[in-house]
């Protein structure tokens, strides 16, 4: 049994993680923590997320010093803000834990990236070097040895799962940048009071045009530029991405199908559509990324869906943990 | 042309009021104001409510002293918090304006009521005496002479319009209190950032059970006790009330129909259903209160719907103003 | 391992049942069937319910003669229309199966009831006599011996779980009929094309006033009359019931709490709220019925929520099966 | 006063049209008709669309022979299926009416287009020649003389209003086809019972990929190819289009702004955003098309919103009629 700590358990992703750990046969929850300043400190997880009443009535403990929690600790999930993860991860690594970070603090191995896109100076370039990017389907071998896993962003997960097989097989004409239109549920903005999240104000609308942090995350890991336009959708959970790209001349439907099959035929959390494209509702509450496509001539449109809190966050974190520790990849997820 | 000021124009009801005044042939907007402390001061109304872009691009002016706005002023609408209205109404009355207050500050002619249900001590019992309760269909004559109109709460409007014809005609056995189950859209809570309004947190649920302020407002004006259970619904606008009551023995369907017809046949903003009961969507964006009923034996269920921001607030305020100044009752509303 | 057949697996409740059986360690799916006339015959369950893709890709087999499916069959779930269940249940009983019927065909032990409320003449009064009403928390002993289980309707489940402890403990003044206001998600109307289910037409509205079939089901099993007003809500799943009733003079909050505790403290699928009342979202996708209450003087309001497809249908059916066969009551449900 | 007939008044667009005509000071409703076979014949418009109760309680008359309705008739709006419009338009033209057709029957001046994309052979190439395409902002002069107006499709209206100023000013590098991602509310599919419209089945999803009829309509009228991907959204009304295109080298933001200003500064139903991009909710129920954009280097993203039933159908039809008859362009619309 792996003793497991969840830091930042009060949020939507944290609550999902707690559920996964709770039902895991080889992991147990050591503690759920929140910032010592949080108003949620001392409350039960199920006070904030009443769907967990009777299932997970554990307290949210204030954490000011990690040493109160690291004794015999094996695993830490950080469901915290970027800068909090940046500061905590090295401490937990020093304490001998394997760290799964759901923030953006270790996703790109380029310290300058953080000044530019996250507004803080990264102090741990060594950890950037060492961190394994947890796009689980593509990094199995590295994950098995990882000490620090940087779980990808929600948008980047679906975008990369869609594009990587095509790019790696050389099917795309990348002189025309892939156009990624993505729509996310409101939970992607986190659990907080804000006018932008207010029920009467939410409405389908693009945001972060040409300046969302996930654009460079996608571009860096794919090794090619993309145009990424996120939208806020009027639903709580889920992401749908419609990705329009240009095929090299002569690429056939069979080649596209083959590229996806080769990448994912044996991957349990990616579901390929042989005909048609996925709808959002079919992944909500489930750990899958669903992928389908349509093409005409040299134009290819890939459609991918996922639950932003699951394959886009907590489920992928747990998938990485399962791979890291040699458990069944889908343990507790399906 | 009546010079008209809207105080508290930044909220949902204020924006609706501004629209009505703007299209009114006999009123014009002198100014739209917000609290001097508000972050919205200086913004355009259409910055906050972009549906009004190109229609109402007026600035929200900070108001610290009413005298900046009262010159040649004829009419004031107060779409402000209870205590703000309580303080401002006398000042505007002194300045010679007719005041239409959308808050609860002058709805019940009993100063003790405010200590008990609103948490402040009322300083103006004379105005409570003088204020006309703006349940428009029932107070036409008084409205014609009013200086201060207390526009009813959103829930009380639908509840009273439903019950008053039955009670006034002596059809109900009031030893069994009418049970008012009401569900309101989220806009009823106002335009603000709050966890309870957050898109992912909103879910059908009762609130304010046995202690909502609108219960005593309803009971006082009807002269009978009621059980009032408001619910938050997962939609932006509208109220549906399902009111279960007990008829006196022998009361017939014809008598119930007659009571409603007598009260509302010539009232343009109450629509009676001869068969079936209203659905919420048919009043959203419209100034009506729709009423239908079903009965079996001595059991009667009245169903009423309205847009909480319109017949439940701004449209009724304008309806009162139209009556007050001798305009067509529905001017600018339909 | 119990060989299990699901008849009518194409609907929403059928798909949920299939999911439960599929993950059950002591049951396996023999077949999923639909009517031989159905357009869905031959499709995969996951074609209709793509969220099950990769999880449950079994075909929906046309069933014209049950004998094709009864060999070595242990358990049948009937997720079929009332009259279909009425005809099929005796056949499966003759074939030696234990039958769990999710329709209304065997819920009330009074043949005349079916002429009156269901529009057909019941041919199997002996089975009405024999059928066990599957309100699981209240019929454990009978369920252990049952051959035919009539799983309660969705509305009656929440209503009876709310009222039965109060009535059985003699706390209510039933001369005033309890007023049950209930709002259900659209899935309660089944998976079908209909104007009333059409996205743009759905809107909060009462229906079936004074003539919904669930009223007599509730009244019969509780042994008291109730006023039951169902509403269609603008959400896919879930039921919230707000039940206003009259306490006998002198009944205390402690007595009410005690009645609920006594009934459900050890029941894993009823979650009691010590303070506050449940919100709809916290049971969607979960097998629970959540119950809370508020009272003032002799007025008591009980609020109950459940997922209409789960505790209101499939989860309760599986709960009954677990009890019937001696498995853990929540097996496969949590 | 222009005597006006609305054919196909039972649908969502028809009901909106009826509302506009009803409030028009220079038009009056001669009749509202539906197909003689329709189940809606004889009902009131307000039976189908109860929001119109008390406003428009006119009957839906069955029309088998147009001659029953053409006496003294000036104007016809056809809110009918493509092939019905194709057959009726010539008859009404012969009867001397001005015809505004909301279907696709006369939108493209190429008879072969109809065989290919609409599945019927066009019998009236002369009318295709004569029909004026009612993209109102761009065809004012022709509209003034029009006998037959083909009101554009909902998606094409927003797409063309967005792209035409850019193309006409030579700002785009069209060797890279503009990528139009559009999401429409469910009302776009019409008022009908269908599984695809069913409340529980609707979910954000692309459809008609590479084969939607609006793609060739857009491409023909713009004179350039586009990639058009429509999506069904989980809301009743509105369209948001996110259009990604390639600028010619060196094109500046000022040039883009200037192109839009030049086209629309004096157009009352197009609202340009100087900063930011529009959100869907701000056009729902309103006759506007809102347009904003963002750019980076040679990448330009235009975002346009409209109500699919209004600027995308009925409001634009009325706008065309206002222009045709010399009324204020926004008469009855704002």
pLDDT tens per residue across span D131-151:
999 999 999 999 999 999 999
Environment class of D25 (CB within 10 Å of its CB; exposed 0-12, middle 13-18, buried 19+): exposed
The mean pLDDT of D72-100, rounded to a whole number, is 98
Chain B: list its partners (3+ Cβ pairs within 8 Å).
Answer: A, C, D
Tell me: do D166 and D96 sit in the same domain: no
Would the CB atoms of B242 and C181 count as touching at under 8 Å? Answer: yes
Residue C260 placed within a domain: yes
Question: What does the pLDDT read at residue C132?
Answer: 98
Tell me: do A58 and A7 sit in the same domain: yes
Query: Which residue, chain included where needed, has tokens 């102090």?
Result: A123
| Residue in D50, D268, D286 closest to B51 by CB | D286
Residues in chain C whose Cβ is within 8 Å of chain B: 176-177, 179, 181, 183, 203-206, 209-210, 227, 229, 231, 233-235, 238, 240, 242, 244, 277-282, 294-296, 299, 301, 303
Question: What does the pLDDT read at residue C122?
Answer: 97
Question: What does the pLDDT read at residue D107?
Answer: 98
Question: What does the pLDDT read at residue D81?
Answer: 96
Confidence of residue D130 (pLDDT cuts 50, 70, 90): very high
Would the CB atoms of A277 and D235 count as touching at under 8 Å? Answer: no
Residues in chain B whose Cβ is within 8 Å of chain D: 50-51, 53-55, 268, 271, 278-279, 281-286, 288, 290, 334
Distance CA B205, CA B201 (A): 11
Q: How many beta-carbon pairs under 8 angstroms link B with C? A: 101
D28: phi then psi, degrees, rounded to nearest 5 = -135, 150
Q: Is C200 a catalytic residue?
A: no
Residue D187 placed within a domain: yes
Q: How many beta-carbon pairs under 8 angstroms link A with B? A: 55
Question: What residues of A are in contact with residue D179 (Cβ under 8 Å)?
Answer: 179, 181, 244
Tell me: do C19 and C107 sit in the same domain: yes
Question: What residues of C are in contact with residue B240 (Cβ under 8 Å)?
Answer: 204-205, 231
Would the CB atoms of B198 and A198 count as touching at under 8 Å? Answer: yes
Confidence of residue C53 (pLDDT cuts 50, 70, 90): very high
Question: What does the pLDDT read at residue B66?
Answer: 96
Residue B275 placed within a domain: yes
Percent of the residues in chain D that have a pLDDT greater than 70, as a whole number:
100
Q: How many beta-carbon pairs under 8 angstroms link A with D? A: 100
Chain D: list its partners (3+ Cβ pairs within 8 Å).
Answer: A, B, C
Tell me: do C105 and C75 sit in the same domain: yes
**Pair B134, B152: CB distance under 8 Å:** yes
The mean pLDDT of B14-25, rounded to a whole number, is 97
Q: How far is residue B96 CA from its own chain's centroid?
A: 24
Which domain range does residue D158 map to? 154-306
Q: Quick one: CA torsion of A314, A319, A321, A322, rounded to 10 degrees? A: 140
| Residue in C51, C54, C282 closest to A50 by CB | C282
Question: What does the pLDDT read at residue B163?
Answer: 98
Residues in chain A whose Cβ is within 8 Å of chain D: 176-177, 179, 181, 183, 203-206, 209-210, 227, 229, 231, 233-235, 238, 240, 242, 244, 277-282, 294-296, 299, 301, 303
- DSSP, collapsed to helix, strand or coil, labels residue B29 as strand
Would the CB atoms of D235 and A204 count as touching at under 8 Å? Answer: yes
Nearest Cα residue in chain D from C188: D200
Nearest Cα residue in chain D from A244: D179
Residue C330 placed within a domain: no
Q: What is the number of other CB atoms lying within 10 angstroms of the CB of residue B43?
A: 14
The mean pLDDT of A128-133, rounded to a whole number, is 98
For every residue of D83-107, DSSP letters joined together read: HHHHHHHHHHHHTT-EEEE-SSTTS
Residue D319 placed within a domain: yes
Residues in chain D whose Cβ is within 8 Å of chain C: 12, 185-187, 191-195, 197-202, 234, 236-237
Residue B330 placed within a domain: no
Question: What residues of C are in contact with residue A278 (Cβ under 8 Å)?
Answer: 50
Residues in chain B whose Cβ is within 8 Å of chain A: 12, 185-187, 191-195, 197-202, 234, 236-237
Tell me: do D66 and D192 sit in the same domain: no
Would the CB atoms of D53 and B283 count as touching at under 8 Å? Answer: no
Nearest Cα residue in chain D from C50: D201
Question: What does the pLDDT read at residue C69?
Answer: 97
The mean pLDDT of D48-59, rounded to a whole number, is 97
Would the CB atoms of C240 and B294 count as touching at under 8 Å? Answer: no
B30's enclosing H/E stretch is strand B27-35
Confidence of residue B63 (pLDDT cuts 50, 70, 90): very high
pLDDT tens figures, A165-209: 999 999 999 999 999 999 999 999 999 999 999 999 999 999 999
pLDDT tens figures, C260-289: 999 999 999 999 999 999 999 999 999 999
Tell me: do B94 and B238 sit in the same domain: no
Percent of the residues in chain B that have a pLDDT greater than 90, as a whole number:
99
The mean pLDDT of B285-293, rounded to a whole number, is 98
Would the CB atoms of C281 and A51 count as touching at under 8 Å? Answer: yes
ipTM confidence = 0.96
Confidence of residue D233 (pLDDT cuts 50, 70, 90): very high
For every residue of C212-223, DSSP letters joined together read: -THHHHHHHHHT
Chain A: list its partners (3+ Cβ pairs within 8 Å).
Answer: B, C, D
Question: What does the pLDDT read at residue A239?
Answer: 98
Distance CA A99, CA A93 (A): 7
Average pLDDT, chain C: 97
**Which of D50, D287, D291 is best to mutate for the B interface (most B CBs within 10 A)?**
D50
Would the CB atoms of B282 and D50 count as touching at under 8 Å? Answer: yes
Contacts for B227 with CB less than 8 Å, ≥ 6 apart: B177, B178, B179, B180, C244, C299, C301
| Residue in B54, B268, B286 closest to D51 by CB | B286
Question: What does the pLDDT read at residue D30?
Answer: 97
**Pair A317, A151: CB distance under 8 Å:** yes
| Residue in C54, C278, C281 closest to A271 by CB | C54
pLDDT tens figures, B39-57: 999 999 999 999 999 999 9
> Helix crossing, C12-22 with C315-324: angle to 10°?
40
pLDDT tens figures, B96-152: 999 999 999 999 999 899 999 999 999 999 999 999 999 999 999 999 999 999 999
Question: What does the pLDDT read at residue A291?
Answer: 98
Tell me: do B180 and B203 sit in the same domain: yes
Distance CA D289, CA D309 (A): 12
Question: What residues of D are in contact with residue C200 (Cβ under 8 Å)?
Answer: 12, 185-187, 191, 197, 236-237
Percent of the residues in chain C that have a pLDDT greater than 70, as a whole number:
100
Residue C333 placed within a domain: no
DSSP designation for A34: E
Residue C332 placed within a domain: no
Tell me: do B25 and B8 sit in the same domain: yes
| Residue in D12, D193, D202 closest to C195 by CB | D193
Distance CA A244, CA A177 (A): 9
Q: How many beta-carbon pairs under 8 angstroms link B with D? A: 35
**Pair C10, C45: CB distance under 8 Å:** yes
Confidence of residue D202 (pLDDT cuts 50, 70, 90): very high
**Pair A193, A206: CB distance under 8 Å:** no
**Which of B181, B282, B301 is best to mutate for the C interface (most C CBs within 10 A)?**
B181
CATH code of the domain containing C124? 3.40.50.720
CA of A179 vs chain D CAs: smallest distance (Å): 8
Question: What does the pLDDT read at residue A282?
Answer: 98
Environment class of D215 (CB within 10 Å of its CB; exposed 0-12, middle 13-18, buried 19+): buried
CA of C311 vs chain D CAs: smallest distance (Å): 19
**Active-site option among C97, C154, C289, C320:** C154
pLDDT tens figures, C103-161: 999 999 998 999 999 999 999 999 999 999 999 999 999 999 999 999 999 999 999 99
Domain count, chain A: 2
Would the CB atoms of A195 and B200 count as touching at under 8 Å? Answer: no
**Which of C162, C195, C242 is best to mutate for the B interface (most B CBs within 10 A)?**
C242
Q: How far is residue B215 CA from its own chain's centroid?
A: 14
Tell me: do D145 and D198 sit in the same domain: no
The mean pLDDT of D258-284, rounded to a whole number, is 97
Confidence of residue D212 (pLDDT cuts 50, 70, 90): very high
Environment class of B285 (CB within 10 Å of its CB; exposed 0-12, middle 13-18, buried 19+): middle
| Residue in C277, C294, C296 closest to B205 by CB | C277
Tell me: do C121 and C160 sit in the same domain: no
Would the CB atoms of B235 and C204 count as touching at under 8 Å? Answer: yes
Tell me: do B131 and B222 sit in the same domain: no
Question: What residues of A are in contact with residue B186 (Cβ under 8 Å)?
Answer: 198-200
Strand partners, C271: C290
Would the CB atoms of B192 and A186 count as touching at under 8 Å? Answer: no
**Pair C66, C35: CB distance under 8 Å:** no
Confidence of residue D236 (pLDDT cuts 50, 70, 90): very high
Question: What does the pLDDT read at residue B223?
Answer: 97
Would the CB atoms of B296 and C210 count as touching at under 8 Å? Answer: yes
Tell me: do A213 and A301 sit in the same domain: yes
CATH code of the domain containing C202? 3.30.360.10
CA of C8 vs chain D CAs: smallest distance (Å): 18
Question: What residues of C are in contact with residue B299 (Cβ under 8 Å)?
Answer: 177, 210, 227
């Amino acid at each position: 049994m792996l003793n497991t700590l969840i830091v930042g358990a009060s949020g939507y992703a944290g609550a999902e993680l707690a559920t996964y750990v709770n039902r895991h046969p080889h992991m147990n929850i050591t503690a759920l923590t929140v910032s010592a300043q949080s108003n949620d400190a001392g409350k039960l997880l199920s006070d904030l997320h009443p769907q967990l009443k009777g299932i997970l009535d554990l307290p949210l403990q204030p954490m000011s010093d990690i040493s109160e929690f690291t004794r015999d600790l094996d695993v830490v999930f950080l469901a915290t803000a970027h800068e909090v993860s940046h500061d905590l991860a090295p401490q937990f690594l020093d304490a001998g834990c394997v760290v799964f970070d759901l923030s953006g603090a270790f996703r790109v191995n380029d310290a300058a990236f953080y000044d530019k896109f996250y507004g803080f100076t990264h102090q741990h370039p060594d950890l950037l070097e060492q961190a394994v990017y947890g796009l689980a389907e593509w990094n199995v071998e590295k994950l098995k040895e990882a000490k620090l896993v940087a779980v990808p962003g929600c948008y980047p997960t679906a975008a990369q799962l869609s594009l990587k097989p095509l790019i790696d097989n050389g099917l795309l004409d990348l002189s025309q940048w892939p156009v990624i239109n993505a729509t996310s549920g409101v939970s992607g903005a986190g659990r907080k009071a804000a006018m932008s999240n207010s029920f009467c104000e939410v409405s389908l609308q693009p945001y972060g045009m040409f300046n969302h942090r996930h654009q460079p995350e996608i571009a860096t890991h794919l090794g090619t530029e993309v145009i990424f336009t996120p939208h806020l959708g009027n639903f709580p959970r889920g992401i749908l991405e419609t990705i329009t790209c240009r095929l090299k001349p002569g690429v056939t439907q069979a080649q596209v199908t083959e590229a996806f099959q080769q990448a994912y035929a044996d991957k349990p959390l990616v579901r390929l559509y042989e005909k048609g494209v996925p709808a959002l509702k079919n992944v909500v509450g489930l750990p899958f990324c669903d992928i389908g496509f349509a093409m005409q001539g040299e134009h290819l449109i890939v459609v991918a869906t996922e639950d932003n809190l699951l394959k886009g966050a907590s489920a992928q974190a747990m998938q990485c943990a399962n791979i890291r520790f040699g458990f069944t990849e889908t343990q507790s997820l399906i």
